[in-house]
Amino acid sequence: MVNFKSKYGVVFFFSLILISSCSKNPKIDLLELPLFPKPVSVISQGNSFNLNNKTKILVLGDSKELLKSANYLATIIKPSTGFDLTVESVKDEFSINCILLNNNLQDLKFGNEGYKLTILDEKILIEGNSTESVFRGIQTLLQILPNEIVASEIQDQSWYVATGKIEDYPEYSYRGAMLDVSRHFFGVEDVKKYIDLLASYKINVLHLHLSDDQGWRIEIKSWPNLTNYGGSTQVGGGEGGFYTQEQYKDIVSYAADRFITIIPEIDMPGHTNAALASYPELNCDNKAPELYTGTKVGFSTLCTRKEITYKFIDDVVREISEMTPGPYIHIGGDESHVTAIEDYIPFINRVQDIVHSYDKKVIGWDEIAHADLKKSTVVQFWAREENAKKGIAQDAKVIMSPSTKVYLDMKYDSLTKIGLSWAAFIELDSAYLWTPDKFVKGINKENILGVESPLWTETITTLKDIEYMAFPRIIGHAEIGWTPTALRNWDDYKTRLKKHTERLKIKGVNFYDSKLLSE
Ligand code: TNX
């Protein structure tokens, strides 16, 4: 029996070959283009597709979610191209002059985030098993387009896309960034801009450090002084700030549209001066300390032996869980230097129970491995190898955040004007030249959930500062989390990064222009 569809497909395929052999589009080598993270497989075909104002963005099937990603793509390319591209759903894949999105590939090889990007002379296909995978593929397509695609004003030029085929999927499922909004507060618009930048490199987690000694930044309706008073200042004595619950939900949904999960952190029992200043009853002596605007760590603790402390934590975790669709609540647990270990352990154990009672899993800095970890608890390695290994011995997974490699608040070198240097100076090569499963003997691939780059903000006061410390180092971290080790090397990365700085300039990212990039 003749299968109409496949016969039609064969005819279609040959007509494409015919059209492509007559194509007048310029020849572009896909392998010459700087892609981040480096994809698993790239085959260059050598021609190009012309994106023009008649190109349609088509969604195969009737997924509303995929339509949203299609509209995202149309919105991103509009300012620089001026094209108001038609976005619509279709029932088959036979159109030409289109970018066709398919989230129903049903190929296990690509998992939940992998994608297949096929660029022919006459059309582009982005396919995966989920909308998330198509979204990752969209980011790759944007990187293949000319750098001017990221410009904020209309560019007088044609838009050609190198033809070829990319198959790509991540090494680790967790590829994160952390932003400390406590030491200095950053408003919703700044956080959204950071989210947009992170999404371009396929980062899929933004961990928000929402409370610390210097400020409480998330509205908790049952404990209003936390923000009214505890959020009223920051390092250096500036006015601070906080997210209302509506604003927090807005960040969560903006991130979700870019397939980034927000992980909220309430740091405890230490790093709690802002809460202790807001409610005297959380202190063992019932006396509220002053608000704190310095940069010391390790001097505060919740009163772990008081029942009211657990009522407080229960309320906070409940309200935050209700606004957080992601699976994790980060409970901090670091540098609790004034909490006796015999108080610390039962405290962490009990807080794990509270988080679980709201159907969330726990992440904590590596010190929490001193406690009895639940099976699903994740340990974030930042300082002490023995803590991470203690966690692994309890079957916990580890997030790799070695401070000597991924702490974005570390200066690049002694001349860097902002940032700290207690862990290391971290130049671009040092930030790139490490491998998660080789970094600590005893922490192996199967123990690692992924990689996260924290940005502590004691010395960081503006979005420009955030950009300067994060870029381009975080691009390397994104690649470490995504690309197989065997495909990574510094010289190749450096060559790609040199080319990519052109794009960062057009985007207006205030990146650190390292001397290593002009060598
Ligand atoms: C250590 S990393 C901290 C933070 C500081 C940071 C500064 C960690 C879990 N704790 O409280 O902001 O150093 O680099």
Say yes or no to pLDDT of 25 above 60.
Answer: yes
Q: Can you tell me the distance from the alpha carbon of 264 to that of 54, in angstroms, rounded to the nearest whole number?
A: 43
Phi and psi at residue 364, to the nearest 5°: -145, 155
d(CA 479, CA 476): 5
pLDDT of 9 higher than 60: no
**Predicted local distance difference test score (pLDDT) of residue 22:** 56
Tell me which residues have their CB closer than 6 angstroms to ligand 1: 297, 334-335, 365, 382, 407, 409, 420, 456, 458
- Residue with the smallest CA separation from ligand 1 atom 6 is 456
Q: 178 alpha carbon to ligand 1 midpoint, in Å?
A: 11
The three-state DSSP-derived secondary structure of 318-355 is: HHHHHHCCCCEEEEECCCCCCCCHHHHHHHHHHHHHHH
Note if the bond before 224 is cis, omega within 30 degrees: no
- Residue 481: φ, ψ to 5°: -75, -25
Centre of ligand 1 to C-alpha 232, Å, is 21
* Burial class for 75, CB neighbours closer than 10 Å (0-12, 13-18, 19+): exposed
Q: What is the mean pLDDT of the chain?
A: 96
In this structure, which long-range contacts are made by residues 390-393, counting pairs with CB atoms below 8 Å and at least 24 apart in sequence?
Answer: 391/366, 392/442, 392/443, 392/447
Q: Whose CA is nearest to atom 12 of ligand 1?
A: 456
CA of 17 to the centre of ligand 1 (A): 57
**What residues contact residue 107 under an 8 Å CB cut-off, 6+ apart?**
116, 129
Which of the four pLDDT bands, split at 50, 70 and 90, describes residue 234?
very high
Mean pLDDT in residue range 384-400: 97
Angle between helices 307-323 and 245-257 (to 10 degrees): 50
3-class SS at 418? coil
What are 150's two structure tokens?
Answer: 């990221």
Atom 10, ligand 1: which residue's CA is nearest? 334
pLDDT tens for 326-373 read 999 999 999 999 999 999 999 999 999 999 999 999 999 999 999 999
**Cα separation of 111 and 1, whole Å?**
34
Q: How far is CA 95 from CA 60, 86, 123, 141, in A?
A: 11, 13, 8, 19
* pLDDT reading at 4 higher than 50: no
Position 422 pLDDT exceeds 70: yes
Structural tokens at position 379: 């340990």
Nearest CA to ligand 1 atom 5: 456
pLDDT at 5: 45
Residue 24 — very low, low, confident or very high, per pLDDT cuts 50/70/90?
Answer: confident
Cβ contacts of 104 within 8 Å, gap of 6 or more: 60, 61, 63, 129
pLDDT tens column, 238-272: 999 999 999 999 999 999 999 999 999 999 999 99
Taking only the tens place, the pLDDT of each residue in 474-516 is: 999 999 999 999 999 999 999 999 999 999 999 999 999 999 9
Token reading at 29: 């080598």
DSSP bridge partners of 450: 174, 399
Q: pLDDT-based confidence at 23, cuts 50/70/90? A: low
In this model, does residue 3 exceed pLDDT 50? no
Pocket test for ligand 1, best of 178, 212, 265, 297 (most atoms within 8 A of CB): 297
Helices (H), 34-85: 64-81
Nearest by Cα to 356 from 342, 335, 369, 373: 373
Question: What's this model's pTM, rounded to 2 decimal places?
Answer: 0.95
Catalytic residue numbers read 335
**Cα 456 to averaged position of ligand 1 atoms, centre (Å):** 7
Residues of the chain with pLDDT > 70, as a percent, come to: 96
Query: In this structure, what token pair is assigned to residue 368?
Result: 């929490």
Share of the chain above pLDDT 90, in %: 95
The predicted-structure confidence for 88-105, as pLDDT tens digits, reads as follows 999 999 999 999 999 999
